[in-house]
Amino acid sequence: MKLDLKKKKLREINNTLQNLDNKKNDRDFVIINPEGSHALCAGLNQEMKVLIKGHVGYYCGGMNQKAYLTIDGNVGTGVAENMMSGTVHVKGNASQSAGATAHGGLLIIDGDASSRCGISMKGIDIVVKGSVGHMSAFMAQSGTMVVCGDAGEALGDSLYEADIFVKGSVKSLGADCIEKKMEKKHLDKISNLLKKSEIKNIKPDNFKRYGSARKLYNFNIDNVSSY
């Protein structure tokens, strides 16, 4: 079904997609003329396929559950923020805070993601085919981030737990983020995500693994004078 944002209001389109009849079999949607609208396809909670043709604004696909969303364009701040499950595939670039605080699902970005990609991620898998900006995976708690390009300053700052894999260069690591040894289970993880993202020409052992040094976990008595 074709949904045109020039003919229908954003709220109307979101309402349609958020309240699909459980018994309905037509679960293929194409949205045209998004023109940078915010919160498009936020709060979808059923299995369906949605293709958005054009650039969208903030929080596209936020809180997604189960839906498979493709954006044929660029996305604004906070794409797939707080996603629980399903897939969001961005064919262009993503602005800041892509996949922020998301608990699950897969976010694929074909282009670059700017700053704070995966900030406070809590279980989402993020695959960026290009590069990520500064402070990506800031305070990340769980999940996996695969970056096929480079990472900006302060990668993984104040990291709790999450696996970060970067193929290119890392401008600098944030506090308590260190390079870690790559084990078979990590290579398998990368391999699986590359496959899901249909990336064929890159091998898992091209990546380096980064994670938490776990030194910020507990109060350290030696630092008492700092408080």
Q: Does 76 bind other proteins (CB under 8 A)?
A: yes
**Which residue from 89, 122, 129, 134 is in contact with other proteins, where contact means CB under 8 A?**
134
Q: Does 120 bind other proteins (CB under 8 A)?
A: no
Q: Does 58 bind other proteins (CB under 8 A)?
A: yes
CB within 8 Å of 14: residues ≥ 6 apart: 39, 40, 41, 42, 43
Q: Binding marks (x or -) toward other proteins, 85..104, rule CB under 8 A?
A: -------xx-xx--------
181-205 residues labelled b (16+ CB within 10 A) or e (exposed): eeeeebbebbeebbeebebeeeebe
Interface with other proteins by CB under 8 A: which range of 20-28, 74-82, 136-144, 167-175?
A: 74-82
Closest of 38, 122, 39 to residue 85, by C-alpha: 122
**Which residue from 14, 37, 82, 120 is in contact with other proteins, where contact means CB under 8 A?**
37
Q: Does 174 bind other proteins (CB under 8 A)?
A: no
3-state secondary structure 163-203: EEEECCCECCECCCEEEECCCHHHHHHHHHHHHHCCCCCCC
**Which residue from 35, 188, 198, 205 is in contact with other proteins, where contact means CB under 8 A?**
35
The distance of closest approach from Cβ of residue 111 to other proteins in the complex, given in angstroms and rounded to an integer, is: 10
Identify the DSSP state of 13: H
The distance of closest approach from Cβ of residue 96 to other proteins in the complex, given in angstroms and rounded to an integer, is: 7
Interface with other proteins by CB under 8 A: which range of 15-23, 51-59, 83-91, 189-197?
A: 51-59
Closest of 47, 46, 110 to residue 79, by C-alpha: 110
**Which residue from 8, 38, 103, 180 is in contact with other proteins, where contact means CB under 8 A?**
38
Rounded CA gap, 102 and 118, in Å?
A: 8
Kindly state the tokens that stand for 196: 């899901």
**Residue 175: count of CB within 10 angstroms of its CB:** 12
Interface with other proteins by CB under 8 A: which range of 34-42, 121-129, 175-183, 186-194?
A: 34-42
Identify the DSSP state of 153: S
Q: Does 8 bind other proteins (CB under 8 A)?
A: no
CA distance readout (Å), 184 to 126, 204, 214: 20, 10, 22
The distance of closest approach from Cβ of residue 193 to other proteins in the complex, given in angstroms and rounded to an integer, is: 25
What does the binding site for other proteins look like in residue numbers (CB under 8 A)? 35-38, 54-58, 74, 76-77, 92-93, 95-96, 114-115, 133-134
